[in-house]
Chain A
Amino acid sequence: MSQLKVSRRGFMGLLGAGSGGLVLSASLSGCASGNNAVQSPSPEALVLNAFLQITPENTVHFYLPREEMGQGSYHGLTTLVAEELDVLPERITVQHAPVNKAFNHPEFGMQGTGGSTSMKVSFYPLRQAGANARAMLVDAAAAELGVSPAQLKTEDGHIITTSGERHPYGRFVQLASTLPTPENVPLKNASDFNLIGKQRPRIDGISKSTGTAQFGIDVDLPNLHKAVIIRSPVYGAKPVKFDATEALKLADVAQVFAIDNGVAIVAKHIWTAKKAAKLVSVEWSNVPLASQSSTHIRDDFASALDTSEGEEHFKSGEGVQALQQAESSENSTVVEAEYWVPFLAHATMEPMNCTIQFNGPRCDIWLGTQMTGAVQSAVAYHGELDKENVFVHTTLLGGSFGRRGNLDYVVEAVEVGQAFSKSHPNTPVQIVWSREDDMRHDYYRPAALARLKASIDDQGQVQTWAATRSGGNMMSYILDEVIDVLAPGFLPNGMVDWLSKRGYGLFENWVVDPSSVEGLHEDYDVPNKEVRHVTVDHGMRLGFLRSVGHSYTGFFKESFMDELAIKANMDPVEMRLNHTQSSPRLNGVIREVAKVAQWGKPQQGRFQGIAAHRSFDSYVAQIAEVSVEGSKITVHKVTCVVDCGRAVNPDMVKAQMEGGIIFGLSAALYGEITFKEGAVEQSNFHDYRLVRLAEAPEVEVHIIDSQEDPTGVGEPGVPPIAPAVANAVFQATGQRLRSLPLKLA
């Protein structure tokens, strides 16, 4: 609820708006020629709070505090304010929130979007904002109409009197602005919801179906120049020298210069810049990563697991010790298996891009990002500007899946923009990555090797569950990137440098990065558990990809659970039900999916596999129906049951499950990034294959009816799909596939 601590008056102050009475409100819409506060919707608009403004013309402006990347915050969060304000969501004008602490993520302490948390952290604060605003308008209407507030009703942006007269909210905004701001007005009871829990088309559907939705790459400004960057084939290598003689002969090429990670070519037109880039030769510095190839990393991980017991992340009961007893007991079976997943690229449909303009001490930047607040800090830090002079204009994100939570494309834009501004002052430049750049310069989902070992008693109960994961840690790279950017505010500079250098090594021998092992042990009731981690990092840049550690621990844990069920001669559904007695919600989705997917009765020629996984506070179970012909795996249908608490927009929850399943299916069937002598071998969609429409299964989603508060949906659909398919493939073929992507022998 921390967002609400900023009072209306406080927020007006933050905007530098007028005092008291009518305020000159600022439309904070994404892009503008200059000022953050441009084009007020109306000079007489009422600023109700940080999130809402209403004009005398009855236009409601909502400042969207979490970015929209497809996951549905645009529609979902608008639904929350619309519900309590009594306005239809499609009548609300949604604006991207500017950087302001009023829009900080309550859990992150900065303005950002991620971790499938947007609905969870907004469910009360945004409804409260809507309810307070509505109460304010009702009070004003009551005063003006000379009735008591209790006699007035509200409906779709109107005050309704007892005699049925309808007055638009806008009529009362002048008076409302002179009244005290109500706080903590009671929220609606669930039984009174008109929008929450109801089916309604998403409100960004029209702009996204007519080509008018604006993404970062669509930003256009007078005299905008375009830049492409020749990047080193090996991450971390620097340009030692370059020759741009031929490139500079092309008409239109404005400037060619070296930056930290490559050579930038700026031209008036993108095609010229691309052509010019082909004419530049660059010599790169040598970096250690250049001696690494992915052919040996799995072996490196394996030998690390052979020789090191690593760090303990979690232990319950006697932990792995309990296995010793089991090994010598006649009533126990010990099962052991090794699982593997490769590196993955995010491959958002919109490649990375960023538009930037420097004008003296001021910088404007236009982009889609998950790290709105950190972008401002990064530009200020790397550009040596005051934060107050950095204006971040966010757009919709053409996909992100974690990728636009990184700052590399911002930091390089600062370097390009500043260098370019020396010859072309106050001229905007847009850096557009090619698909090849995007594929080869990602923050990859780490490759991971895990060894799992368990003992089952003669009743089929798992007594011991031990898992050790080996690979690199995502958090090291995230910390490296943000620590110098975010830290100066509270740490002395020497300490910042120290930390920034330590970030990389922090998780090697100090603590286990929770993202590396999350999801490995949490779900099942087992008396003895132990999770350990052995860090092996070859220096490939790592990052968060949709469902983060769960993207592979779901595969490890759920495939292994299937192996245990088969070893114990138990039905895989029953096995899971038996081990989720202390988790009724996980138990519930397993039971439900078995019922709706008709577990045990697949269509002729098809085979079923089940997987269930809890992530981001939500519970998802899936049953995949698969057939196998030769070595070809066809996924016909996926049935999915999700318990994400109250579904604010049930159809969007379904869409996120569908999308998560298809995203995860690309990883299950095709996804693999490899590198040779430090350079990523894949470059575009022909060698980094994604599921296409013809391969997409039918997806049937059921949502558990729940009164619990909402939890994540953007990511939790991903983890169960790979193991559900692998488990079905085992049913079909008897082959246990323990590596992704799934390949039949």
Chain B
Amino acid sequence: MIHFMLNGEPVSTDVPEDTPLLWVIRDYFNLKGSKFGCGMGLCGACSMQLDGVSTRTCILPVSAVEGRHVTTIEGLGTADNLHPLQKAWVKHSVPQCGYCQSGQLISASALLAQNPNPTEDDIANAMSGNLCRCGTYPRIKDAILDTAAGGVAQWEPPGSDNAPSADSVSDGVAQEKSVAGGEA
């Protein structure tokens, strides 16, 4: 049995120890925001914060997180309570297909937590483990700089009093929580 903190809650799982954390989070804890992109630690789509550090979880056996804090995109903020970087992402229309963006936001938030006023070089260093095939890099840079400069402190997404249900396209999916092997 492996115990760890997931988005601030204590959890445990008895899945095989070598199972990469990514699949445990996606398929046992049913948090689908973290993505599979390469399985080799090369693209960053699977990034989660491990004790505050952006980490590639597709190559991280779940046994390695015993006793540690794991933060996924779901733990960063929600549609009703966006993290400042998520607001900046919306404000700058950063996402295109969106697939890489959970990982981008995990790396960006880890950066700002360490370094609230990053230079362009700091950003390049911190973000270069996260690929974006759609090419959203210029906006990622702008959104991080804007957040650091306080540009979203007062900003709310338009219509946010009635923001579209975040997954309005996915309602109707059987979202039955499969807890086998994992318990919240």
Residues of chain A touching chain B, judged by Cβ–Cβ distance below 8 Å, are: 27, 29-33, 38-39, 68-72, 88, 90-96, 200-215, 217-222, 269-272, 347-351, 395-401, 432, 434-435, 651-652, 655, 658-663, 684-686, 690-694, 696, 698-699
Given A31-B170, A685-B43, also A204-B135 (CB < 8 A)? no
Given A32-B173, A222-B176, A684-B38, also A213-B131 (CB < 8 A)? no
Interface of B is mostly: loop
CA distance A659 to B136 in the complex (A): 6
CA distance A31 to B168 in the complex (A): 11
B157 pairs with A202, CB closer than 8 A: no
Q: Which residues of B contact A693 (CB under 8 A)?
A: 123-124, 127-128, 130, 132, 137, 140-141
B152 to chain A, nearest CB (A): 11
Task: Please count how many residues in chain B sit with their CB below 8 Å of the partner chain's CB atoms.
Answer: 82
Partner of A349 from B78, B93, B123, B131 at Cβ < 8 Å: B131
Residues of chain B touching chain A, judged by Cβ–Cβ distance below 8 Å, are: 15-16, 18-20, 23, 27, 30-40, 42-43, 45, 72-74, 76-79, 82, 86, 89-102, 105, 123-125, 127-128, 130-141, 157-160, 162-176, 178
Q: Which residues of B contact A434 (CB under 8 A)?
A: 39
CA distance A222 to B174 in the complex (A): 7
CA distance A220 to B175 in the complex (A): 6
Residue of B nearest to A428 (CB): B174
A718 to chain B, nearest CB (A): 10
Q: Which residues of B contact A691 (CB under 8 A)?
A: 135, 137
Residue of A nearest to B125 (CB): A694
Partner of A90 from B38, B124, B132, B164 at Cβ < 8 Å: B164
Query: Nearest 6 CB-CB pairs, A to B?
Result: A211-B33, A662-B135, A208-B98, A70-B97, A398-B99, A70-B96
CA distance A206 to B105 in the complex (A): 12
A351 pairs with B37, CB closer than 8 A: yes
B169 pairs with A90, CB closer than 8 A: no
Partner of A213 from B27, B39, B98 at Cβ < 8 Å: B98
CA distance A704 to B138 in the complex (A): 21
Q: Which residues of A contact B124 (CB under 8 A)?
A: 693-694
CA distance A38 to B32 in the complex (A): 23
B93 pairs with A202, CB closer than 8 A: yes
Q: Which residues of B contact A395 (CB under 8 A)?
A: 169-170
Q: Which residues of B contact A694 (CB under 8 A)?
A: 124-125, 127-128
A91 pairs with B164, CB closer than 8 A: yes
CA distance A132 to B35 in the complex (A): 41
Q: Which residues of A contact B105 (CB under 8 A)?
A: 209
CA distance A401 to B132 in the complex (A): 13
B131 to chain A, nearest CB (A): 6
CA distance A441 to B19 in the complex (A): 26
CA distance A309 to B163 in the complex (A): 61
B173 pairs with A349, CB closer than 8 A: no
Interface of A is mostly: loop
A479 to chain B, nearest CB (A): 27
Q: Which residues of B contact A270 (CB under 8 A)?
A: 23, 27
CA distance A91 to B157 in the complex (A): 12
Q: Which residues of B contact A94 (CB under 8 A)?
A: 164, 168-169
Given A206-B82, A350-B99, also A91-B159 (CB < 8 A)? yes
A211 pairs with B135, CB closer than 8 A: no
Q: Which residues of A contact B19 (CB under 8 A)?
A: 269, 271
Residue of B nearest to A714 (CB): B96
A372 to chain B, nearest CB (A): 14
CA distance A271 to B36 in the complex (A): 12
A189 to chain B, nearest CB (A): 24
Given A351-B36, A690-B133, A696-B138, also A212-B93 (CB < 8 A)? no
A212 pairs with B99, CB closer than 8 A: no
B43 pairs with A349, CB closer than 8 A: yes
Interface centre among A38, A209, A271 (most CB of B within 10 A): A209
Q: Which residues of B contact A351 (CB under 8 A)?
A: 36-37
CA distance A651 to B170 in the complex (A): 26
A397 pairs with B97, CB closer than 8 A: yes
Q: Which residues of A contact B35 (CB under 8 A)?
A: 215, 217, 349-350, 398
B135 pairs with A661, CB closer than 8 A: yes
Residue of B nearest to A394 (CB): B169
Q: Which residues of A contact B133 (CB under 8 A)?
A: 347-349, 399, 401, 663, 690
B174 pairs with A221, CB closer than 8 A: yes
A220 pairs with B174, CB closer than 8 A: yes
Given A662-B135, A662-B137, A693-B140, also A212-B167 (CB < 8 A)? yes
A206 pairs with B164, CB closer than 8 A: yes
Q: A201-B90, A347-B133, A655-B96 are in contact. List 8 more A-B contacts (CB 8 A).
A: A31-B173, A217-B35, A269-B23, A271-B18, A396-B97, A434-B39, A690-B133, A693-B128
Q: Which residues of B contact A432 (CB under 8 A)?
A: 36
CA distance A435 to B58 in the complex (A): 12
Given A38-B172, A70-B134, A658-B135, also A206-B90 (CB < 8 A)? yes
B138 pairs with A684, CB closer than 8 A: no
Q: Which residues of A contact B101 (CB under 8 A)?
A: 208-209
Interface centre among A31, A400, A651, A686 (most CB of B within 10 A): A31
B139 pairs with A655, CB closer than 8 A: yes
B141 to chain A, nearest CB (A): 7
Given A31-B174, A90-B159, also A205-B37 (CB < 8 A)? no
Given A70-B97, A201-B158, A685-B40, also A214-B169 (CB < 8 A)? yes
Q: Which residues of A contact B174 (CB under 8 A)?
A: 31-33, 220-222
A90 pairs with B158, CB closer than 8 A: yes
Given A205-B89, A210-B73, A434-B39, also A96-B169 (CB < 8 A)? yes
CA distance A193 to B27 in the complex (A): 46
Q: Which residues of A contact B160 (CB under 8 A)?
A: 90
A214 pairs with B97, CB closer than 8 A: no
Partner of B164 from A71, A203, A685 at Cβ < 8 Å: A203
A376 to chain B, nearest CB (A): 18
A210 pairs with B16, CB closer than 8 A: no
CA distance A126 to B105 in the complex (A): 34
Q: Which residues of B contact A211 (CB under 8 A)?
A: 31-34, 72-74, 102
CA distance A39 to B174 in the complex (A): 12
A349 pairs with B45, CB closer than 8 A: yes
CA distance A398 to B43 in the complex (A): 14
Partner of B170 from A29, A205, A400, A658 at Cβ < 8 Å: A29
A401 to chain B, nearest CB (A): 8
Q: Which residues of A contact B90 (CB under 8 A)?
A: 201, 205-206, 209
B135 pairs with A659, CB closer than 8 A: yes
Partner of A206 from B74, B166, B169 at Cβ < 8 Å: B166
A210 pairs with B42, CB closer than 8 A: no
